[in-house]
Amino acid sequence: MVSRTQETPRGGRPARPLSTPLALDDAHGRTATDLRVSLTDRCNLRCTYCMPAEGLPWLPGDEMLTDDELITLIGVGVRHLGIRTVRLTGGEPLLRKNLEQIVSAIAEFEPRPQIALTTNGIGLARRAEALAAAGLDRINISLDTIDRDTFKRLTRRDRLADVLAGVRAARAAGLDPVKINSVLMRGINDHEAADLVRWATEEGVQLRFIEQMPLDAQHGWDRGEMITAAEIGERLAELGPLEALDGRGSAPAERFRLGDSGHRVGIIAAVTRPFCGACDRVRLTADGQIRNCLFARTESDLRAPLRAGADDQQLAELWAAAVASKLPGHGIDDPSFLQPDRPMSSIGG
Ligand code: SAM
Ligand code: SF4
């Protein structure tokens, strides 16, 4: 349970309607309704596809949004701009102090958004119940291997047992569904694809493989080295053929059953089968920047106007303008593609 001695961040302002109604529409017929909020750029793992062994220069404390500022901006999105889902991510969101209080403050907004968390699962065993009690609806836990040595090699930390305990605690706390995100790396964990599917079925969690994207801080991504969605299918052939279950709508994962084996799997083919045309996402970084795409090369600052006293109408107008200029696609396969300066851990995956 959330401790009564800890204060819920005040943040949210009185809910007055905007003088000019706004929505997060872009010029390509899409409307953003799904907000991804990075709560911190820090992390207690060092996944090789995400950050270097020594970590990164973390955001200075005074550049980070305070809890109140964060709740105020999320409130602008939910009350005025049509945001229906708020996903908390990072960096590692469980490292953010007051996470449970942040969740309960979001749960008080009207209309009440769906609240989701993407986490590496370390420390979740102790907190899943309090997070669910605070209003968390759904959780995605990242786990690329169930082999302890491979986990150590891939994340540079010996924490597999903590993550597995976190997965079980999430289920026990009633978070449903529990989704597992896995990135396959050639020669490291790609031989484990079928084992991961078997494990997920046994644990009662939904596994989704994500194609590795050019978002690592080291800029080491290599298109030829990436395990493609097609290759994932080949590695799962021992369980059965991939049979599509339904259209994915705006969801990035395509869902499949594996023949009559009883196994199911999702594949997020962000590179080889991009879903930009149906994208409904917008991102808020831990330092208060709106990004209209993971791969955007520009961002729009809401922190400075917020700190200068901008009201909800002004913040909503800035936010709507940021989304209006969203490009039609990420262009990873375009020869002119340039990786964004911010790595995934700082944007919020
Ligand atoms: N630390 C949390 C976690 O790992 O779930 C949240 C942040 S992490 C950046 C969010 C998701 O992005 C994770 O599922 C991670 O596997 C994925 N990710 C990180 N770098 C990636 C990359 N270069 N390509 C594809 N997915 C990546
Ligand atoms: Fe940390 Fe998540 Fe990046 Fe791994 S993927 S280093 S857990 S932020």
Cα of 214 from ligand 1 centre, angstroms: 11
Cα of 81 from ligand 1 centre, angstroms: 27
pLDDT tens readout for residues 275-295? 899 999 999 999 999 999 988
Q: Name the closest-CA residue to atom 8, ligand 1.
A: 349
Segment 335-341 mean pLDDT:
79
Residue 104 beta carbon below 6 angstroms from any ligand 1 atom: no
Q: Which atom of ligand 1 is nearest to the CA of 221?
A: 23
Counting ligand 1 atoms within 8 A of each CB, the residue from 43, 48, 50 with the most, and so the one to mutate, is 50
pLDDT of residue 338: 78
pLDDT of residue 340: 82
Cα of 183 from ligand 1 centre, angstroms: 8
pTM of the entire predicted model: 0.94
CATH number (3.90.1580.10, 3.90.180.10, 2.30.110.10, 3.20.20.70) of 34-347 reads 3.20.20.70
pLDDT tens readout for residues 216-249? 888 888 888 899 999 999 999 999 999 999 766 6
Q: Tell me if 248 sits within 8 A of 310, measured CB to CB.
A: no
Residue 120 beta carbon below 6 angstroms from any ligand 1 atom: yes
pLDDT tens readout for residues 83-129? 999 999 999 999 999 999 999 999 999 999 999 999 999 999 999 99
pLDDT tops 80 at residue 151 = yes
d(CA 108, CA 100): 13
Q: Which ligand is nearest to the CA of 339?
A: 1
Segment 260-279 mean pLDDT:
93
| Structure token digits, residue 26 | 């872009």
Query: Identity (one letter) of the amino acid at 263?
Result: H
Phi, psi of 326 (to 5 degrees): -60, 135
Residues with CB under 6 A from ligand 2: 43, 45-47, 50-51, 90-92, 120, 142, 345
Domain assignments of the chain as residue spans, ordered by start = 34-347
Residue 50 beta carbon below 6 angstroms from any ligand 1 atom: yes
Q: Nearest 5°: CA angle at 347, between 343 and 349?
A: 95
Q: Name the closest-CA residue to atom 8, ligand 2.
A: 91
Q: Name the closest-CA residue to atom 1, ligand 1.
A: 92
CB count in 10 Å sphere of residue 333: 11
Phi, psi of 319 (to 5 degrees): -65, -45
